[in-house]
Structure 1
Amino acid sequence: MMTERPIVGIDLGTTHSLCAVFRDGQPELIPNALAHTLTPSVVGVLPDGHIVVGQAARELQVAHPDRAVACFKRWMGTERRVEIGGQSFDSQELSSLVLRSLREDAENYLDTAVVDAVITVPAYFNDHQRKATKLAGRMAGLNVRRIINEPTAAALTYGFHDRQAEKKLIVIDLGGGTFDVTVMDVFEGALEIVSTAGETQLGGEDFTTRLMAQVLKTQSRQLENCEMQHPLFVSRLREKCEAAKRALGRQTSTSVAIPEDDGRFRDPAPTITISREDAGQWFQPLVQRLARPISRALRDARLEAAEITEVILVGGATRDRTVREFVSQFFDCQPHATVNPDEVVALGAAVQAALITDDRAVEDMVMTDVCPFTLGVQVVKQFGNKEVPGYYLPVIHRNTTIPVSREEVVATTRANQREVEVQIYQGESRKVSDNLRLGALSVPDIPAGPAGQPVHIRFTYDLNGILEVEAYLPQTGKKFNTVLTNHVEGLSPQELSSALVRMQQIKFYPRDNVRHQRLLRFAEKAIGEVSPFQRDELEAAVDGFEHAMEAGDRELFEQMRESLLLTLSALGLPMQDVDDER
């Protein structure tokens, strides 16, 4: 019996969900009531109105597809609802039922109340999808201590078991419904997430659906029509195609029995033989979709495929031979999965739970993460004499290591404009209409003056998912701020306050340093003294330094400062009294 309430790690998956706990120095999977570690992410309603979850719901779905539902993880963050057995559910409610089942299994196994949890999500889940996941946890009676990315959790498992390795690895995570890629550095017990990318609508279920469509094509039938007219036929066929897909991972060919329209099988039932080569050709359009997120993650990490030391496969769909062959060819090496691909994420979530509680078994482990999406504000652009609103100005770019603090400068667009409404967004698109709005910050009391009065916007983002947005008016010295805690669950007011104090420590304001201001004025004056042939070089160095003073990026500032000092020295204009100051 455990003496303290544990924090469990939960992999809330599209097809299956798992729960794990960290105890006795190791992450450990928690079996469900059937003694299985995998619980199907399926919810069903019996004729008497009783709700069933897991294997019972999966069996109900095959026999009565109108009474059960699966793959609802893909709806997270949307308003989609489904009616099963006369009851209406949204994705959060369905997910909460799965989470409640996992929580009850954990309480029975651990013989103690389970309240706190770490829940994993696809790295490319947006803010709404993460909030929906936290809401599902709360509805299941869980205090969600942390939401972490699935590839990060997988990397934690490998990092826990191989702490002294030094390598650049990439995690290819293809689950039942989502695909993620994460590049990371591992060295001396530290796991540094470098970049992440993915697609929330690509997974093993799509491969099964593709197989079904091709099987039906041999019968001169279309999947869409069958789904509407013969749902029991489709549910039985999906079961057979899922089994065939798995079989092709172990053997060169298999057969699929075709049911009658009412879902029953004749004896003998007509069958179709499928070879591994046939399936590989059918799966190619899906496999090719893996390339774009992988390439994006590598570009953001500034790496070539050949520079990756190790490729780790995560998720049951990576067992497919076509997927493995594609990954092998892309990286020109054999990927590996020394930890069960179905289990590695849940185990990593348990390691994350141990990091939260400062367990001695992980005291030498350090993990950094990145912001998976760009964070920014809405701005107006000038096209000729016309001002067009709705454009996006990034402040923190995607795959920036967190915690981080960055600053950009915007300006008023009208004479005597006394207030600015800062609209805060998440996403990668050029226009905010294609991005996700997170909130707003009002900036009043701007001094009257011509258009172009500057407003400094600073974003500070931490590992807990807290985003502080601060606006600074240099004319008056006033500051305005708002704190967005959309990713945060389970922090007390005291913990939130402590987190905000820590965030102040990572803020960097070089523009407020008198010595940096003196260097800028000295360099600006020097521009008028150098030869016209040298002016462009010095002006570029001054521009870079001035931009770095406003950006608040410590590393960038140091680089630009050194560059300016070197340029001045090369032109015979050293500024000795600040040359060694920091």
Structure 2
Amino acid sequence: MATQRETVDFGIDLGTTNSAIAKAEGADAVVIRNNRQREFTPSAVYMSASGNVHVGDAARARVEADPDNACAEFKLRMGERGEHMRFKASGRSMTPEDLSAEVLKSLRGNVTAGTGESIEAAVITVPAAFSLDQCDATSRAAALAGLEFAPLLQEPTAAAWAYSVRDAPSKAFWLVYDFGGGTFDAAVVKIEDGEFTVVNHAGDNFLGGKRADWALVEEILIPKAEREYGLRNLSRDNRRAAGNIAKLKAAAENAKIELSQSEATDVLVDLRREDGELVDFHHELTRADVEAVTRPLVETSIALCRRALAESRTKAGDIERVLLVGGMSQSPVLREMLADPTEGLGIPLDHSLDPVTVVARGAAIFAGTQRIPRSLKSKPTAAPGTAALELEYAAVGQDTDPLVGGRARDDAVQDWTGCTVEFANRESKPPWTSGTVALRPDGGFTLRLRAEENTKNTFAIVLRDRHGTPVATDPTSLTYRHTGLIGAAPTLSHSIGIGLSDNSIETVLAKGTELPARKRTVTFTTVAVNKHAGTGLIRVPLVSGEHPRVDRNTVIGRLELRPAEVRRDVPAGSEVEVTVSIDTSFRATAEAYVPILDEEIEIDVDLARSTAPGLADLRADRAELEHRYDDLRERASEVDAPEARALLDRFDSQDTLSEVDRLLRQAEIDPDATATCLVRLREAQTVLDGVEEHLELPQIIEEAKESLSMAKEIVQQAGQAEHRADLRRAEAELDAAVEERDQALIRRQTDELRTIAVRVLDESGRLPVVVFASLEHDLADHPSPQVQRLLAEGRRSINDGTVHQLAAVNAKLRSHLPDEGSGLDLEGQASTVRGGDRR
């Protein structure tokens, strides 16, 4: 059904624990209550044996009583392939997108019940740390829920929108501290020249209030239930204990909330023994208990805040205030730690808006700035005698005299000369009118309105024919919201790059890039593709993430060109131009252009993640992690590498292996634990990657010094003035790179030194001799008689002084070197392109 609204107006906070929907009204927004008159709805789904779906409080209660047919906290698995929940009674299964769609349908139903309006458009929020695949899954859930237009907005940005309608400064920095039920985001917001923009963020998709809940269950409630009530095997990896565990988890969550206001509360639940007997479990939980399990989580969140500040080159002293968002931010110990200048950030805290609904309110305020696409609105083909108005204007802005352009259309009117239009705001004080504005013969007009500040202005439209008689119009009014502060363009949450053959990444669009964005980069093939021989493969992986290694990031797309798919041979070193585009809702597209083929090929961007690995694979990864740690610890003890030892000490202090072991135990039954375990393993391997790089640094520096010595000798013997100048510059840059201990830069300068040496040898005519010496070394033991004849011919050329013949010999010898593509995982995931230039 098409809508009559000009702007979206509705914003949804699709949360891990609870969800809410709000509607833009005036300069602010109001939260729409559900059928229980609550401002938020639990993100839980229950399915009866007949297949009827229930969402909200009733479903949340069923998670405890009937865990085989109800589920919650499925947001964190958005984007994964395959089913998430199989409802035993009905036999049906649902993906995370299906489950989220049911929550969105419920929120849409709240609007219909409360206002009588059926909405087809809403802004939906996502955590800033959400990856592209998770954003894409959210968009799919919106479509399944009947929302035909659903722009995505990052949660910290939504919170900034909510606070922007209050006493916002003209120039300042804010820090949005968003600690929700399942995720944490820290975002640095810059306010300047009437705009605010998120300049950087840091987050953790698995750091949320649910971890505190589970800690209370596992560290306090389960031990007491087993010790004093005779229950056995109460663990998350025991499916038979699922009902008891769910009850304890819900009780812990409720107690945690209550302890924000009181010092102690009673946990009372009915638990069932293995013999079927019910026992009345009782435990007095105290605020101190909650503080004990919350502190480590808050410490982690503060570290992420500091990282966000450091990466944006701001200090705590630059931040005017910290905006508290999310249910966990109501915790007294959290606020105490965060405000402390030593333990926390020492920045004033602002919790003047309800942290549970502030994101929905901000999303609605932003939604009031978003025009609904014409395809979703009632088409301006009005009834006979009614003129259709096509209006062009900004729905929101800082101008108090916004410009409006438009055109009147009516099949019965060919010439609009003598007709007028008038806009009037009868609610303003005093009432305002534009006066009559003459239409052009084609029905077009432009005029300026007068808007009251910091509120939503509605202007009635009056169209008159050449006789002054009013003519009915569609639409009949226009709305414009004035604001003193407006959000700038959204920014990219995670970098997008191309995986290269050396397992490094060529970044195309960096984290923090304003959206929409489009950029092209050039790579070069490392493998020749021979059409007739059927050999070779061009593979260009597209990845998302911040890790320096390809295999630590998420592959979101892949170009693969096989011999049967090309029109001609593609030699190694051929260009492959890759262009990546991403819109304001984080939807990515990519295409590649291969000049030698003169073909443009769309890269399939598949944002659905593979199903999480099985427990056997995770356990094998854990064993490999420990083995790698032991090896690196031993190597670090043998060399002077303080940075490597510091990283290993950090690895120890975080008790990484123990945490992975705990997650592996939980993963027997909890799919979220599987996903979290995979993330933690990847993070741990990344730390060890850093250790490995620091351990390699002495060797890299030694290789650089050898290359410098070689280049100096060659330039001294055969170089010209320009070569000596290039060498001095390259040596100075190498010294700076060594001083900074920047491995990538050291490698780059080492390559530059070698390039200078090769150029001197080439220009002096000595390069063929040097190349032959290298080939002779590599092929000395080659079994082919032809290779041995070529080597003998090359040696004769050098002895006879006929060096010019060496080029042909070298070309023939190169063909006998091992295939440049051999050893590559051509049927697996490895890239077959590199960065740099054609060399």
Classify the TM-score, shorter chain.
Answer: 0.7 to 0.9
Structure 2 counterparts to residues 65-464 of structure 1, below 5 A: 65-78=67-80, 79-84=82-87, 85-86=89-90, 87-213=92-218, 214-219=220-225, 220=227, 223-224=234-235, 228-257=239-268, 259-261=270-272, 271-329=282-340, 330-357=344-371, 358-359=395-396, 360-362=480-482, 365-381=486-502, 390-414=503-527, 420-441=538-559, 451-464=572-585
Contact 1:124 1:198 in 2 (8 A): yes
Distance 1:193 1:249 in 2: 30
Contact 1:170 1:310 in 2 (8 A): yes
Identify, as 1 or 2, the structure richer in strand. 1
- State the Cα deviation string for residues 48-82 of structure 1 (Å, max 9, x = none): 54321112212333433333211111221122422
Of the structure 1 ranges 219-228 and 58-67, higher mean CA displacement relative to structure 2 is found in: 219-228
Q: 2:34 is paired with a residue of what secondary structure?
A: coil
| Cα distance change of structure 1 residues 113 and 430 upon mapping to structure 2, 3 Å threshold | same
Distance 1:158 1:472 in 2: 45
| Cα distance change of structure 1 residues 30 and 466 upon mapping to structure 2, 3 Å threshold | same
Task: Give the residue type in structure 2 aligned to 1:376.
Answer: G
1:186 positional shift:
1.3
1:145 positional shift:
2.8
Which residue of 2 is the match for residue 519 of structure 1? none
Task: Give the residue type in structure 1 aligned to 2:5.
Answer: E
Q: 2:244 is paired with a residue of what secondary structure?
A: helix
Which residue of 1 is the match for residue 653 of structure 2? none
Runs of 5+ unmatched residues, structure 1: 382-389, 488-526, 541-582
Contact 1:6 1:114 in 2 (8 A): no
1:361 positional shift:
1.3
Contact 2:17 2:181 in 1 (8 A): yes
Of the structure 1 ranges 246-255 and 92-101, higher mean CA displacement relative to structure 2 is found in: 246-255
Runs of 5+ unmatched residues, structure 2: 372-394, 397-479, 532-536, 608-719, 734-839
Contact 1:170 1:308 in 2 (8 A): yes
Which residue of 2 is the match for residue 386 of structure 1? none
1:265 positional shift:
7.9
| Cα distance change of structure 1 residues 447 and 46 upon mapping to structure 2, 3 Å threshold | closer
Q: 2:108 is paired with a residue of what secondary structure?
A: helix
- State the Cα deviation string for residues 184-243 of structure 1 (Å, max 9, x = none): 101243111101221111211221111112222234366416963343333333333222
- State the Cα deviation string for residues 323-370 of structure 1 (Å, max 9, x = none): 223322321133221110011111111122112122421565242222
Distance 1:325 1:231 in 2: 35
1:270 positional shift:
5.5
Q: 1:380 is paired with a residue of what secondary structure?
A: coil
Matched, 1:536 2:726: no
1:532 positional shift:
4.1
1:422 positional shift:
3.1
Identity of aligned residues (%): 28
Contact 1:80 1:91 in 2 (8 A): yes
Which residue of 2 is the match for residue 517 of structure 1? none
Task: Give the residue type in structure 2 aligned to 1:60.
Answer: R
| Cα distance change of structure 1 residues 226 and 114 upon mapping to structure 2, 3 Å threshold | same
Task: Give the residue type in structure 1 aligned to 2:159.
Answer: A
Contact 2:161 2:362 in 1 (8 A): yes
Distance 2:726 2:236 in 1: 73
Q: TM-score, normalised by structure 1?
A: 0.75
Which residue of 1 is the match for residue 23 of structure 2? 21
Which residue of 1 is the match for residue 826 of structure 2? none
Distance 1:441 1:226 in 2: 40
Contact 2:298 2:334 in 1 (8 A): yes
Q: 1:202 is paired with a residue of what secondary structure?
A: coil
| Cα distance change of structure 1 residues 370 and 436 upon mapping to structure 2, 3 Å threshold | same
- State the Cα deviation string for residues 7-37 of structure 1 (Å, max 9, x = none): 2211111111111121334322111122221
Which residue of 1 is the match for residue 417 of structure 2? none
Of the structure 1 ranges 109-118 and 433-442, higher mean CA displacement relative to structure 2 is found in: 433-442
1:127 positional shift:
2.0
1:446 positional shift:
11
Q: 2:187 is paired with a residue of what secondary structure?
A: strand
Q: 2:160 is paired with a residue of what secondary structure?
A: helix
Contact 2:557 2:606 in 1 (8 A): no
Which residue of 2 is the match for residue 499 of structure 1? none
Distance 2:291 2:299 in 1: 12
Distance 2:12 2:203 in 1: 20
| Cα distance change of structure 1 residues 322 and 265 upon mapping to structure 2, 3 Å threshold | farther
Distance 2:67 2:58 in 1: 13
1:160 positional shift:
2.9
Q: 1:194 is paired with a residue of what secondary structure?
A: strand
Distance 2:217 2:199 in 1: 38
1:467 positional shift:
4.0
- State the Cα deviation string for residues 229-287 of structure 1 (Å, max 9, x = none): 34333333333322221122112233323533269987xx5533333223212233333
Distance 1:367 1:460 in 2: 19
Of the structure 1 ranges 304-313 and 198-207, higher mean CA displacement relative to structure 2 is found in: 304-313
Distance 1:377 1:33 in 2: 49
Aligned pairs, number: 490
Task: Give the residue type in structure 1 aligned to 2:729.
Answer: D
Of the structure 1 ranges 315-324 and 162-171, higher mean CA displacement relative to structure 2 is found in: 162-171
1:445 positional shift:
8.2
Contact 2:197 2:490 in 1 (8 A): yes
Contact 1:100 1:140 in 2 (8 A): yes
Q: Aligned-residue CA RMSD in angstroms?
A: 3.5
Q: 2:222 is paired with a residue of what secondary structure?
A: helix
Task: Give the residue type in structure 1 aligned to 2:551.
Answer: S
Distance 1:344 1:169 in 2: 15
Distance 2:314 2:728 in 1: 35
Contact 1:168 1:186 in 2 (8 A): yes
Task: Give the residue type in structure 1 aligned to 2:339.
Answer: S
Q: TM-score, normalised by structure 2?
A: 0.53
Q: 2:272 is paired with a residue of what secondary structure?
A: coil
Of the structure 1 ranges 169-178 and 79-88, higher mean CA displacement relative to structure 2 is found in: 79-88
Distance 1:429 1:380 in 2: 16
Q: 1:401 is paired with a residue of what secondary structure?
A: coil
Distance 1:345 1:481 in 2: 40
